[in-house]
Chain A
């Protein structure tokens, strides 16, 4: 059974204080590892897809990396507007269904 575990559950940072969020996974057939951002009262918004170990993708202050067992979302010099819940998901081989982690809620204080 596919599993996704995210840590920490919550992370509080000062503005400018860089850190990383972790997503550990087990899957029988990886078709993609996805990162989403979710703001309060809204649906998740797609950020990145990673397909194979060693791959990296960047967007503004965010960089996502992938190994065979985990993915990291690195946040460099975060700003208060980066505060959100970040979700990691596996896209498995079965009709495009995705398995989500419980998310990491990031709070960035000015």
Chain B
């Protein structure tokens, strides 16, 4: 398995509270991604990073921010959680070569009550 660890694996939080999800890799890959997975919507890209301090938005970035201060860590923050952000969040990494596949962590199940 690619060395990707997501934490926490499960979290329940209340509407309006900030939440931070962590992704840690041991592969030293340049590219890291945050996706959310919802029934009927599949996997949708939230934000991605192409290096330390280099990040960009995906298709569903509203309400989320990210930070990457070290190669191995990519943090996803929900600034003020809403019920629509209840989802399963996956981190993925990718080698810096053409057509390399994504390798995923096992996800964080977030419930916003």
Contacts and interface: CB of A to CB of B under 8 A. Distances in A.
Interface of A: 31-32, 34, 36, 41-46, 49, 51, 87, 89, 91, 95-98, 100-103
A102 B40 contact: yes
Interface string B32-45: 01000000111111
A87 B42 contact: yes
B40 A32 contact: no
A31 to B, nearest CB: 6
B58 interface: yes
Contacts of B40: 102
A43 B106 contact: yes
Contact of A44 (B41, B50, B94, B104): B104
Please report whether the interface of chain B is mostly helix, strand, loop or mixed according to DSSP. Answer: strand
Given A43-B90, A91-B99, A97 B45 contact: yes
A48 B40 CA distance: 24
B102 A46 contact: yes
A46 B101 contact: yes
Contacts of B31: 95-96
Nearest to B98: A31
B56 interface: yes
B104 A43 contact: yes
A87 B41 CA distance: 12
B42 A101 contact: yes
